[in-house]
Amino acid sequence: MLLHAFPLTPDMWRPQLERVPDGWRFIAPDLRTFGTRGSSAPSMTDYAGGVSALLDALELDRAIIGGLSMGGYITFELFRRAPERFTGILLADTRAQADTPENGQARRKLSELVRTKGPAAVADQMLPKLLSETTLRRRGHVVAQVRQLIESSDVAEIDAAIHALMTRPDSTPDLARISLPTLVLVGEEDSITPISDAELLQQQIPRSQLVILPGAAHLSNLEAPDEFSTALTNFLGSNL
C-alpha cells in the first residue's frame, strides 16, 4: 500500500506501479477523499481511517504499508491504531517529529494562499522546495508532471491536508515499537525532510535500513524512479 505525498495524487506512484516485482500487488489509494469526508477539521486519524477502511473493503488483513512525506505521517498514525495490519513499512522522505511553530506558521500562510489564489499558486511556491536543482534544470518532464499533479487537486482537498499536517502528533515515541522490517528512503538533496530526519528513523527503528538516493530531493520516487524502485524491490525480496 503506497500512500502519496502532499499536495499530490496517487499518480505520483506511476513509476513504481509500472515496476511491480513478480508475486507482488501494489495499491496506491487517493488519500484526498479521506480528508474531506464530513470533517471540518480533518486530521491524520481521518486519513488513517480511510486507509484502514480500504484494506477492509479489499479484504486485506495485513499488508506492507508506507508512503512518502505525508504518506509517511499517515503510516505512523495507522501503525498507532492498528499495528497488527502491518507486515512491513516503507518510509520515504518523511519524519517522525511534529511540526515546529515555524512550520505551523508556514502552513497557515499556505492555507491562505490556496484559498485565495488556488492550486496553481501552491505549485509555484512548492516546486522549488519539492524538487532538486538538478531536476529543476534538467528534468523538465518531471517538473511538468509534479505541477500537473498539484493543480489537479481542488482547494478543499489541499486545505484539508494542510490542517492535518500541522496538527499531527509527534511519532518519535512510537519508533522503538516498530519491530517490522522497515525501508527508509531519502533524497540526497531533500531540504524538507533531510537526511538527518531519515537517519533518526533508521537509528530508532530496530529492523530498518536506510537508502540515500543521489540527485533527488523530496519527491525521490519521481526524481530517481529507477533507484527508488530497485531499493523497494530489493527490500521486498530480502526482508519479507
How many degrees, rounded to 5, is the angle at CA 218 between CA 189 and CA 10?
Answer: 155
In tens digits, the chain (240 residues) has pLDDT values of 999 999 999 999 999 999 999 999 999 999 987 765 545 678 999 999 999 999 999 999 999 999 999 999 999 999 999 999 999 999 999 999 999 999 999 999 999 999 999 999 999 999 999 999 999 999 999 999 999 999 999 999 999 999 999 999 999 999 999 999 999 999 999 999 999 999 999 999 999 999 999 999 999 999 999 999 999 999 999 866
Confidence at residue 32, expressed as pLDDT on a 0 to 100 scale: 81
Confidence at residue 40, expressed as pLDDT on a 0 to 100 scale: 63
Helix extents (H) in the chain: 14-17, 44-57, 70-81, 101-117, 119-130, 133-138, 140-151, 155-166, 195-204, 220-223, 225-239
Q: Which residues contact 204 (CB under 8 A, 6 or more apart)?
A: 96, 172, 175, 176
Q: What is the DSSP string of 122-168?
A: HHHHHHHHHS-HHHHHH-HHHHHHHHHHHHTS-HHHHHHHHHHHHTP
Q: Is 233 helix (H, G, I), strand (E, B) or coil?
A: helix
Residues 36, 157 contacting (CB under 8 angstroms): yes
Q: Is 195 helix (H, G, I), strand (E, B) or coil?
A: helix
Confidence at residue 240, expressed as pLDDT on a 0 to 100 scale: 60
Confidence at residue 72, expressed as pLDDT on a 0 to 100 scale: 98
List the domain boundaries for the chain: 2-239
C-alpha distances in angstroms, 42 versus 95, 106, 160?
20, 18, 6
Lookup: cell for 170: 509527534
Instruction: Please provide the CATH number assigned to the domain covering 2-239.
Output: 3.40.50.1820
Burial of residue 42, with CB atoms counted within 10 A of its CB: 0-12 exposed, 13-18 middle, 19 or more buried: buried
Confidence at residue 34, expressed as pLDDT on a 0 to 100 scale: 75
- Residue 53 neighbours by CB distance under 10 Å: 12
Confidence at residue 219, expressed as pLDDT on a 0 to 100 scale: 98
Cα separation of 79 and 83, whole Å? 4
